Structures are given as structure tokens and as C-alpha cells.
Amino acid sequence: MTDLERPRGGVPAPKDWTYAPAPEARDVVTLADRYGHFVGGEWIEAEETYTTISPATEEPLAEIGQATPAEVERAVAAARDAYDDGWSTISPSERAKYLFRIARILQERSREFAVLESLNGGKPIKESRDVDLPLAAAHFFYYAGWADKLEYAFPNQRPRPIGVAGQIIPWNFPLLMLAWKIAPALAAGNTVVLKPAETTPLTALLFCDVLRQAELPAGVVNIVTGDGATGAAIVKAEGVDKVAFTGSTEVGKAIQRELAGTGKKLTLELGGKAANIIFDDAALDQAVEGIVNGIYFNQGHVCCAGSRLLVQESIYEPVVDKLKRRLATLRVGDPLDKNTDVGAINSKQQLEKIQELVAVGEEEGAEIYQPPCRVPEKGYWFVPTVFTNVAQSYRIAQEEIFGPVLSILTFRTPDEAVEKANNTPYGLSAGVWTEKGSRILWMAERLRAGVVWANTYNRFDPSSPFGGYKESGFGREGGRHGLEPYLQLDDSEAFGG
Ligand code: NAP
Ligand code: MG
């Protein structure tokens, strides 16, 4: 835009802004036609396969292995061998060396990973490039630092590894969730069998190449692909000592039932229906950015998404007006375009789930707003959506939609905000927007949520523990707390955590 075109003394209407396409080059990624499973440091041919696609274009990308229970057993045996053969006993600073290597290689190859993540999962390239990749590398750096300091992290508790960890992850942050799982497990001296989600296996498979480049001993990390049946086989496998699961509450409950009485350790990171709470003294423009980031980031496929907006009644109108205006500027479309804000919905199945719940919201009597927006003909898309006139009892205020859909409710007093925010079976996260520090602390004390963000939203840092209350699960990932599920510890009064 030249200076002459630059609007003076006013905000231009969104239609005045036009963006030329700015696609990220795809040729940085080389895909194989067919992938097997990564077991004992080698690729093994998969007995059965399925096709993985790009959700933005529905084009097939590669044939992926659908691991059978026998293949899972083989991966678990490889992990056990690697554990016994030295990973659990080599000097911790050696373990750290590999983790540092992995972190550095992820940084070096981040463009390749970011493009592949967007291609296979549908998230905007600016998010995979600026959020997923830097955070995944940061996780490996962070836990590399802990590997030789476990005795300081858990003084007088003789921290020892557990054995083989079976790890199952979802499709919304494929590489980042892999990093959250693998980095602390390895730092603590365990070996791993990990299954990425059925719809997003490709970055986990490319990660196997990183493991080879880092010369990680064979069998320390094994990756098997497949659907829920493969996940169930990991949970059941005899040789697995600890299960770490991130996904839906429904599957999490089934896993917990399955493991009850087996002595296997378990951590569950499940769903959420977080309240993002805006008080009348908040900086409104910043709060509106936080609302947008809270629910439209990653198409709303975020377990800690701020999907229930609680606005103080006195500022309801300006907030909703500003939000609607802001929504009209969001660019929905090609995930590989550097200007895209909202990409493709991850799968047809997820799109149908979103459509179904949105239809229910309209039937129940909520008022829907969607900005004018054209989406591509092929692929899975959902326009950023706001519901007003929402009652707490509506399904759209209760259930996780896991899409770009916001439900707006109001409150009058801080007590009422707390009551409404906590009125959910979930408890993963919450946001509070206010000028007053004392009010932030007052709220944080009362909100039943694992993470409370103040005047920001969806902020992640490897040093900060993340996890749920109630039906959002148990166990923490990130920080020193994130090491604990991967360690055997002596009981000790000395440790207060
Ligand atoms: P999901 O169906 O529970 O899947 C999660 C993972 O578990 C996938 O790898 C899945 O394989 C696998 N799986 C499915 N059925 C299984 C079974 N019976 N036994 C073992 N593994 C099984 O969830 P999703 O639909 O992929 O993801 C969306 C949900 O995950 C949302 O509810 C969201 O809130 C939650 N989530 C939570 C967090 C967190 O940190 N708390 C993070 C991300 C997502 P398939 O891919 O084949 O289904
Ligand atoms: Mg699923």
C-alpha cells in the first residue's frame, strides 16, 4: 500500500484490504508413496495400510501403515530391548546430548516440518512455523537440560525411569504433542512406543528421520501408525509400563477402565470447555485479540480453547461489536498461504461434528453470526462463528465443539463469573481479562482449571506445567512436573510438589 492509499483518520473497512496469494513453497517436503512402522531403528513393512490426505484439498498424500497388535508387540519388544540394553543406565548427560541434538535438528529442519504439518493437518503455515515448530524444539531443549539434573529436581527421592512408555497423541498439534510426550520420557531414561493420530501421521514419520540423524540408539523411540485400534493395542500391550494419552475424554475414560488394576501408570490429557472472562475494566481491544486467539487459533482444534466467552454485562455490546468487526478481517483458506489466519478443518469427521453441534445451537435458540466469507470448494472448511444469546444449559455451552465456534454468555459480578466458569465437567484452562492484579489472583484461586491465563490466552512454555482438573484429565506435562509421570520416586517429605 502506498502512502496515498493509506487510510487517514479512520479504520478502513475490511474489504479495502486485499492480499495477493503468498503460498509457502511445498517442494521443501519430499514424501514417500508408502510408509511402514519405525521399530528398533528400522522401517518395517506394514501389513495393512490406509491413505492419508490433505484436508484442504482432499488430495491423497501417502499410504500409511495400520499397525496390527502383532506389530505393536514388536515395537514394544524393541523398546524393552533398548531400555535394557543401556538407555536406562547410560550416563544422564549422554541422554541429554541426544535430546539437544534432536532439538537442534528440529530447528534446522523447521521449514520442512512446518510445511508438512500444514499440508497434512490443515493448520495455517504461520501457526506451524511460528508456534508448533519453535515450541516442539523448545520442549526438547528444555527436557535435555533436566536429563542430568533429576536428582536436583527430586531431591532425596532417587529418581529412576519406569520402563517402556506407550504414548498416544491427537491430530491438533501432531509434532508438538509428540515433543510433549517424547522429550520428558527420554530425559527420565524411559523408552517409547508412540502412535500419532490417524489423520496426521506425517510429521511423526519425518521425525524418525531426525532420530536417525541424531544417531539415537535403535529402539529408544518407536513410532507405529494406525487408528484407534492401534492405540488400544498399545494400551493393552503387556510390556508397556506407563501409558500417556492425549485425546478425547471418552477414549480417556475407556483407557482408564482398561488399565484399572494392572499397575500400569497413566496420565490423561483430555478435553476442555474453557471460560475466557472479560471484566469491564479490561483493555477491550487487547481482550478482543485474546478472544480471537483463544477460539480461532488452529481452527479452534485446541483442548484449552476459550470456547465460552464470559463478558461482563456492562461491556457486552462494545465487545460483541468489536469482535464481529474483527472476525470479518480473518482470512480463511489455504493453510500454506502465509496470510491465512484460519485453515482447514482437520477431517471430514470433525467437520460433521462441528456442523452438527452448530445446528443444535441454532435449534436451541442461540443467535448465530458468521462474517461474509468465501471458502474453497474442495476440502473441509468452517467459517469462524459466534453464538450470542446462549444459555448455560445449551449443548454449545456444555460440550466441546473443537472447532472455530464461540459461545458468548454474560455475568454481572465476579462471583457469578466464577460460578459460570466452573459450571462444566471440564477444567483445563481459563482466561481472565482485567486491569486489576488483585482480581486476577482472586479469580485464579477460585477457577477450577489447570491453567489460568491473565490478559493473554493460549500461551505455552515448556517450563510451565499444563494439565487438567475433573474430566480434563490428570497428570501434568511441561515443567519439572512433567518429569514426574516418567519417574519412580521414593516417597519423601523433602519434596513438596
Ligand atoms: P481421540 O479420538 O480420543 O484420539 C486421540 C488419540 O487416541 C488418537 O491417536 C486416536 O487414534 C487414539 N485412539 C482412539 N481410540 C482409541 C482407543 N480406544 N484406545 C487407544 N487410543 C485410541 O481424540 P481426537 O478426536 O483425535 O482429538 C480430539 C480430542 O482430544 C478433543 O476432545 C480434545 O480436547 C482432546 N485433546 C486434549 C488435549 C490436552 O492436552 N488435554 C490436547 C489435544 C486434544 P485415531 O487418530 O485413529 O482416532
Ligand atoms: Mg478419534
- pLDDT in 10s for each residue of the chain, 497 residues: 444 444 444 444 555 567 899 999 999 999 999 999 999 999 999 999 999 999 999 999 999 999 999 999 999 999 999 999 999 899 999 999 999 999 999 999 999 999 999 999 999 999 999 999 999 999 999 999 999 999 999 999 999 999 999 999 999 999 999 999 999 999 999 999 999 999 999 999 999 999 999 999 999 999 999 999 999 999 999 999 999 999 999 999 999 999 999 999 999 999 999 999 999 999 999 999 999 999 999 999 999 999 999 999 999 999 999 999 999 999 999 999 999 999 999 999 999 999 999 999 999 999 999 999 889 999 999 999 999 999 999 999 999 999 999 999 999 999 999 999 999 999 999 999 999 999 999 999 999 999 999 999 999 999 999 999 999 999 999 999 999 999 999 975 544 44
Rounded distance between C-alpha atoms, residue 16 and residue 279, angstroms: 32
**313 catalytic per annotation:** no
Q: Is residue 5 part of a domain?
A: no
Residues 59 and 204 occupy one common structural domain: yes
Neighbouring CB atoms inside 10 A of 259's CB total 18
Paired strand residues for 65: 49
Instruction: Show the domain range for 77.
Output: 37-270+474-493
Residue nearest to atom 21 of ligand 1 (CA): 231
CA atoms within 13 A on the CB side of 101: 17
Coil, helix or strand at residue 470: helix
Q: Do residues 110 and 225 both lie within one domain? A: yes
Task: Give the ligand at the shortest distance from the Cα of 346.
Answer: 1
Q: Which of these, 187, 199, 205, lies nearest to 112 by C-alpha position?
A: 205
Instruction: Annotate 422-457 with b (16+ C-beta within 10 A) or e (fewer).
Output: bbbebbbbbbbbbeeeebbeebeebbbbbbbbbbeb
Question: Considering the domain boundaries, does residue 59 fall inside one?
Answer: yes
Instruction: List pocket residues of ligand 1, CB cut-off 6 Å.
Output: 168-172, 195, 197-198, 227-228, 231-232, 235, 246-248, 251, 254-255, 269-272, 303, 400, 402, 428, 473
The stretches of 39-188 forming alpha helices (DSSP H) are 69-82, 92-108, 110-121, 125-127, 133-146, 150-153, 174-187
| 298 and 252 inside one domain | no
**For the whole model, what pTM was predicted?**
0.95
Same domain for 182 and 61: yes
Residues pairing with 387 in the sheet? 368, 407
Integer Cα distance of 108 and 411 in angstroms: 48
* Dist. CA 324–CA 292, nearest whole Å: 10
Helix (H) or strand (E) holding 50: strand 49-53
Same-domain pairing of 302 and 220: no
